[in-house]
Amino acid sequence: MIRSAADLYEARSATRTASPASVTLLHGALFLTILVSPFVLVEPSPYEVACALLALACLVAGVRFDRKLLPLAALLLIFNLGGLLTLVLPRHDASGRDAAIYVAVSFYLAMTAVVYACLFSEDSLRRLIIMRRAYFIAAFIASLVGIGGYFGYLPGAALYDRARSTFKDPNVFGPFLVLPLVLLLQTIISPAMRPRHLILFGVLAFALLLSFSRGAWAHFLLSAAIVLVLTFLTAPNIRTRLRLVVLSAVGVIGLTTLVAGALSVGSLSEMFQQRAKLTQSYDVGSGGRFGLQEKAVEAVLENPAGMGPFQFARVYGGQQHNAYFQAFLVYGWIGGLAYVLLVVLTIMIGFRQSIVATPWQPYLIAALGTFCGEAFESFVVDTDHWRHYFLALGLVWGLAAASMNETARNLRANGGRFR
C-alpha cells in the first residue's frame, strides 16, 4: 500500500523526537503484545506483562496523548471508578480479595484501550501493519491449537466438545478470531488477494466453526456485513463496487461450501444441529440465562450503587451473561451509564470517521465492524474483561483521531477548503 504525502508527514513528525532504538523497542513491544494475546489460560497472562512493556515503550518513544481521546479516557475512568466504589459496600461473603482483583483487572484493561488509542492515533499505517502481521500469526497458531484440541490431538484445548484453544472458554476464543477474519475478508475482495490469504481465512473460519459459539458466529456475520457495506459505500468508483459485489457473492458461496463440507462429518453435524438451536437448556427456566436477565433488571433498579463483582451470582445463583447489565450491577448506575455512553459514542465516531478517505480507512472499517459485533454479542455474554474487546475499542478511537487529524491537515493545505 502506498502512503499518502500526509501519512508520510505524520510518520516523520511522530518519530522526529524518538530515537531509532526507542522506535524499534515500541514496534517490537507491539508485535509481542499482539502475538501473545491468545495465551490466557493463566492469570496474569503473558499478555498483561507484554502490555506493561508496550506502555513503557510508548513513554520511551514519546507517543502522545491526543486530546481527541479525552472522551475515551474519561468514560473509562468513570466506569472503573464506579467499580472501585462498590468495593466499600458491605459484603456477606469472603470475596473481598477476588472483588478487588476484578476491579484491578478492569482498570488495567481500560488502560490498554487508551494505550492502543494513543499508539494508533499517530504513525498509524506502519503500526497497523505490525499489528496485522502479529495478529495473523497469533490467530493462526491459536486456530491450529483449537482444531487439534477439538479432534483430540491436544488435550486441554477443547471444552465440552468445543474448541477453546489457549483460552479458558470457547465463547472467548471464537470472537478473538473475528478481527483477523474481517481483515482477511477485506484482502480477499481486493486486488491484493493471494492464495495464502484464502488458506489462512479457511483455517481461521474452520476454527471459529469448531468453537460452536453461537454468539461468535453471529458476531462474525454482523461484523463481516458491516465491513462489506462500508467498503461498498466508500469504494472510489462503480467498477470497484461491482467487483466487490461479485467477489462477495463468490465468497459467500465459498464459505457456505466450506461449512457444508465440514458438517458432512457426522460428529460435527450433530454438534452443529445442537448448537444452532435458538435456545439451549441453560438459556431457559428461572435459573437460565434469560430468566436471570429478567432478575438482573430488578437488581439494577434496586441497587443504584451497584452490587459489586460476583454478588449477583451469589444472590441469584448464576451469572446474567449480559455485559450491559454487568456494567450496572458491578459498577453501579454511574459506571453503567458511562459504559453505555462509551459504546454508543464509539460506534457513532467510528461510523462518522470510517467514511473519511485515509490510508488506514480499511483498518478503521474492520475495527469498527469488529467492535459493533462485540457490542451486539455483549447482550448475551460478559465482555467487560475480553482483551480483544479493548483492542478493538482502542483501534476505533485511535484511528478516528488519526482521521480527524488528517482532515484538519487537508483543510490547512487547501486554505480551509475541502478537496
Helix locations, 263-386, DSSP H: 266-275, 289-302, 311-316, 323-354, 361-377
What are φ and ψ of residue 203, in 5° steps?
-65, -45
Amino acid of residue 410: N
The phi-psi region of residue 45 (left if phi > 0; otherwise alpha if psi is between -120 and 50; otherwise beta) is beta
Round to whole Å and give the CA distance between 209 and 259: 8
Residue showing cell 451473561:
321
**pLDDT at site 149:** 94
Instruction: Return the C-alpha torsion angle 31, 229, 212, 378, nearest 10.
Output: 80
Domain ranges of the chain: 5-262+298-413
3-state secondary structure of 158: strand
pLDDT value of residue 9: 44
> What's the pLDDT score for residue 345?
98
Amino acid sitting at position 389: Y
Strands (E), 118-206: 158-159, 162-163
Helix axes 46-61, 96-120, angle to 10 degrees: 40
pLDDT at position 100? 86
pLDDT in tens, the chain (419 residues): 334 444 444 444 444 567 889 999 999 999 999 999 999 887 778 999 999 999 999 999 999 999 999 999 999 999 999 988 888 776 655 467 788 888 999 999 999 999 999 999 999 999 999 999 999 999 999 999 999 999 999 988 998 889 999 999 999 999 999 999 999 999 998 888 899 999 999 999 999 999 999 999 999 999 999 999 999 999 988 988 998 899 888 888 888 887 787 777 666 777 777 776 666 655 555 566 677 888 888 899 999 988 888 888 888 888 888 999 999 999 999 999 999 999 999 999 999 999 999 999 999 999 999 999 999 999 989 998 999 999 999 999 999 999 999 998 888 777 655 44
pLDDT of 389: 96
Q: How far is the C-alpha of 381 from the C-alpha of 361, rounded, in Å?
A: 29
Cis check for the bond before 71: say yes or no (omega within 30 of 0).
no
Residue pair 346/393 in contact by the 8 Å Cβ criterion: yes
Q: What is the DSSP string of 267-282?
A: HHHHHHHHHTSS--TT
Task: Write down the pLDDT at residue 266.
Answer: 63
Q: Which residues contact 193 (CB under 8 A, 6 or more apart)?
A: 187
Question: 189: closest CA among 125, 251, 254?
Answer: 251
Are the C-beta atoms of 59 and 268 separated by less than 8 Å? no
Q: How far apart are CA 206 and CA 196, in angstroms?
A: 15
Residues 6 or more apart from 237 whose CB is under 8 A from it? none
Report, in angstroms and rounded to the nearest whole number, the Rg of the chain calculated over CA atoms: 22
pTM (whole model) above 0.85 = yes
Peptide bond before 155: cis, by omega within 30 degrees of 0? no
Alpha-carbon distance values, 98 to 87, 103, 169, 306 (Å):
10, 9, 20, 16
C-beta contacts of 89-93 below 8 A and 24+ residues apart: 89/305, 89/306, 89/307, 89/308, 91/308, 91/311, 92/314, 93/314
